[in-house]
Amino acid sequence: MGTRTRKSIALIVSICLLGNLFAPSNCRAQLVWPFAPPTTPQAQRNALNVLHSRVNWFRNATRNAPNFATGNYAMVWQEFQQLRDAYSAFKATLTPDKLAAGANELAELDAGLDILQQAFDEYQQDVAAGRATHAAFESMCQALNEGAALWLQELDRVAKQLRI
């Protein structure tokens, strides 16, 4: 193969690569589901039951995590994230009518999760300020356990109000 042929091939490859670089792409920032989650009464009850289980798992983690020497913070944080995900999945099953009827109450539940999440930041601040890690962690877990219990009571009240 001569140098002229190699240069031609290199030029063609470069043009193709640049063309692909500037071509419109089918990439999306988020996965688009071809269907909406079911909003049937049964789907709502199932999502509520899953959410109850996630709250119980989270509370269990807050009670037991202080007994672990390592990985305790990550365990509680992971359970909290799964609780948030379950709550989002629950809200996704609600019909537009139920979302509208319970908009204020659902916003309060969202705010309640935000308040619970602040406990993780306060733990970090306590440790940074020199408080003993174990004592700060125990305080965080106790606050999260009590807060989650109150949050669950509010969830049950809202679910009853929305007739789920």
- Please write the tens of the pLDDT for every residue from 26-39: 444 455 555 667 89
Mean pLDDT calculated for residue range 68-96? 97
The sign of the torsion formed by the CA atoms of 160, 90, 123, 69 equals positive
pLDDT of residue 21: 41
> Among 30-34, 57-61, 106-110, 137-141, whose mean pLDDT is lowest?
30-34
Higher pLDDT, 94 or 38: 94
pLDDT of residue 5: 46
User: Is pLDDT of 125 > 90?
Assistant: yes
Higher pLDDT, 97 or 4: 97
Using CA atoms, how far apart are residues 118 and 83, in angstroms rounded to an integer? 15
Q: pTM of the full predicted structure?
A: 0.77
The mean of the pLDDT values for the chain is 86
List, in order of start, the domains of the chain with CATH numbers: 34-161 (1.20.120)
Q: Report the run of H or E that residue 119 belongs to, with start and end.
A: helix 103-128
User: Is pLDDT of 12 > 90?
Assistant: no
Q: Which of 164, 154, 130, 140 is nearest to 44 (CA)?
A: 164
- What is the SS3 string spanning 12-30? HHHHHHHHHHHCCCCCCCC
User: Is pLDDT of 110 > 60?
Assistant: yes
pLDDT of residue 35: 63
Using CA atoms, how far apart are residues 148 and 9, in angstroms rounded to an integer? 65
User: Is pLDDT of 160 > 80?
Assistant: yes
Q: Report the run of H or E that residue 47 belongs to, with start and end.
A: helix 41-64
The total of other beta-carbon atoms located within 10 Å of residue 102's CB is 19
